Structure formats: structure tokens, C-alpha cells
Amino acid sequence: MSPVRFVVASGNRKKLVEILRVLDGLDVKLVPMTELGLDSPVEDGDTFEANALLKARAAARGSGLPAIADDSGLEVDALGGAPGVWSARYAGPDATDADNNAKLIAALANVAPADRTARFVCAAALATPDGREWVVRATMEGGIIDVPRGENGFGYDPHFVSEGATRTNAELEPAEKDARSHRGAALRALREHVAALLT
């Protein structure tokens, strides 16, 4: 039998690789939405869960395939939870990771290191063309440092050190990050629902 095709509601290649690692061993083939000519919907939800479901529903509807989506971001306590659902667009609609990180560090310029507590949040969603859907949430607690370290990961990873760690997320090897991260935890929880669709 051929693997079951799932569309991933993202064009982010690094995110796709993370999803592939967590779903390894399941008889699935992941297809990025960009390969199917699908456009991303406007992410106008006010929670990570709402945006993840919005993306998964749109991809399932547009492709006729079960769809996996996630919405992830950084919540910084000293900034009232910002950037939150705006994490990818914190410095503007066409912001790069470097732009977003620069704005974050500037916003924390007068905040003491001990008060730079933060968390990564991931809501992962699965939606089918017939209307079934699931969404799970996971977090990774930690803090923000000024000087970026590491070449792995993406987004705010070079500035984030998780609780009990000394290295940033960008200094972790992929398997280490999957085992500890918000996205890894959410996708492991979602994996059960993906597996159930294969039976």
C-alpha cells in the first residue's frame, strides 16, 4: 500500500522537517501546501489554537487531504505576552527572523535578565476534509538572552534558553530539540490522532 498523503499547512521547510522527524515511522507522505498551489489563509485568530485550526481547515478543504498545521510563537512575560500570535510578524508583515529578534531585544533593553521569563507555545491541529478536527497545545518555559547563540533552529531560537538548560534552542541538536520543544511535544500528542486515521 502507498503511504497516506497529508498536506502540511506551511511552506516553512524547517518546520516541515521537524514534523517529519516526529511522525517518523508512520506510513504517511507529507506534502507542503505550496506544492499543491494552496495559499495560506489570513491568520486572524486571537489564539494559537484558533490560527492552527484555521490553517488546517483551509488546507484540508483546498486539497481534499487530511491536513496538519501548527501555530507557534513566543510569549514574553515582561512584554505582556507579546509577541504572542504575532511572533512571525512582530516587526512587520514581511519581517525576517533577524528583524523580529532585533525588535524583541530592543523591547527588553531595560528589563533585567531575571525578569526575561518567556515561553514558546505551539498549538498543532489536524483536520480532515469531512470535518473532523483535533487540536493540542504544548509549551516550553525559559528565558531570553541578548546575544544570539547557535546555528540550528529558526525564529527566536538563538535567543531562547529553556528552563534548566545552558544552551539556546539554536545550539541544540535536532533530536534534543524535538525531545524538549513545544512543537515536539504538541506533534507527539497529535501523532496519536494521525495514526488513528491510518487504521
DSSP-assigned letter for residue 83: B
CB pairs under 8 A, 24+ apart, for 113-116? 113/143, 113/145, 115/77, 115/78, 116/76, 116/78, 116/143, 116/144, 116/145
Q: Which residue out of 46, 70, 71, 130 is catalytically annotated?
A: 71
Whole-angstrom distance, CA of residue 62 vs CA of residue 67: 10
3-state secondary structure of 112: coil
Size of the chain, expressed as the number of residues it contains = 199
Is residue 71 annotated as a catalytic residue, yes or no? yes
Whole-angstrom distance, CA of residue 23 vs CA of residue 155: 22
Whole-angstrom distance, CA of residue 147 vs CA of residue 101: 10
Strand partners, 68: 8, 126
Q: Show which residues are catalytic.
A: 71
